[in-house]
Amino acid sequence: MDLDAFLRIVDGARSNASGDQDFLRRIEARLLELEPDELMGFERQFEEIHTDSCSWNLWGAAYLMNGGCSDDGFEYFRAWLMAQGRRTFEKAVEDADTLAMLPDPQGGRSRRYRELEEFMYVAREIYEEKTSEEMPESDTGFLQGVDWRNFDVRWNFDDPVEMERRYPKLFAKYRGSP
């Protein structure tokens, strides 16, 4: 499965989904139609995109939006972000401050976590359901091959001056004064 096929499946499941749980039901229904080798291809694409999107810039955005963000929480955040669809995901990777444009069902400053851990495992679970075997590990794996020393420069996520400078829109939405 190539990147475009993967993203078409994600975008199709996200289209008209009423929320994240609805998205999960839709993506599961679509993945149930795939053969085991296609599920492995979907998983490979997921892992590659998930790993490639690992940056301090996105982590800082997740920290603001979620009122903090652990390393596991950052993995779940990136899965949530991927589940928002290609356009949203690619814009956020390019400029994380664009995430401020996403609707917030609770009117801003909401601490509703933007995490979707279940999306990280759906293809593996369906593969196991179809084959009665665990999906073989791919050569990408979550965070495998990520060299944290080569990441962009990290900063203190608790420094409001730095966070406002880097994310003026997100900061205004989630940390600004009422």
CA atoms within 13 A on the CB side of 24: 14
Per-residue pLDDT at 103 exceeds 90: no
Reported as a single tens digit per residue, the pLDDT across 59-70 is 999 999 999 999
Structural domain range at position 68: 3-174
Residues 6+ apart with CB under 8 A from 124: 43, 134, 135
Query: The whole model's pTM is what?
Result: 0.89
Reported as a single tens digit per residue, the pLDDT across 105-143 is 555 444 567 999 999 999 999 999 999 999 998 654 444
The count of structural domains within the chain is 1
